[in-house]
Amino acid sequence: MTIKSSQTLVSEALKEIKTISTDEAHKMFNDKQCNLIDIRDIRELQKEGQIEGANHIPRGMLEFWLDPDSGYFKDGKLDLNKEMVLFCAGGLRSALAAKSLKEMGFKKVSHIDGGFGALRQSKFKII
């Protein structure tokens, strides 16, 4: 049995998904063109802070919260017609999550290069 490494999975995902910069994300966010989604664990938010105005959806619940047929669906939490812009701490989990949303059928999905680490150095406000 051959098991793909997490690094391989991320590399494959990066070839299939859209990666955007913090500046691109900031413009889309300010223009209300996207749902900014923080997929980090709640402990990471408590320890590191969070982006003002971002939606928090833990990585483990993302597909369930965005599936209208799921019992966990968060109706009205996000505008499903806007781009889903994901970020995690460094960009690995968000790459995998973006690929998963594309596989679910979401057309407008991207993730932020560098994740929260890059966002800390950007125009976004940390709270």
pLDDT in tens, 37-82: 999 999 999 999 999 999 999 999 999 999 999 999 988 889 989 9
Band (118; pLDDT cuts 50, 70, 90) = very high
Identify whether the C-beta of residue 124 lies closer than 8 Å to the C-beta of residue 22: yes
Question: Reduced to 3 DSSP states, what percent helix, strand and coil does the chain have, rounded to the nearest 5?
Answer: 40, 15, 45
In total, how many domains does the chain have? 1
Question: Is residue 25, in this structure, part of any structural domain at all?
Answer: yes
Question: Is residue 75, in this structure, part of any structural domain at all?
Answer: yes
Q: Model pTM?
A: 0.94
Token couple for 20: 């955007």
Question: Is residue 47, in this structure, part of any structural domain at all?
Answer: yes
Calpha distance 19→106 (Å, rounded):
15
Classify 87 as helix, strand or coil: strand
* CATH assignment at residue 99: 3.40.250.10
Question: Is residue 124, in this structure, part of any structural domain at all?
Answer: no
Q: Give the domain range for residue 103.
A: 6-119
Total length of the chain: 127
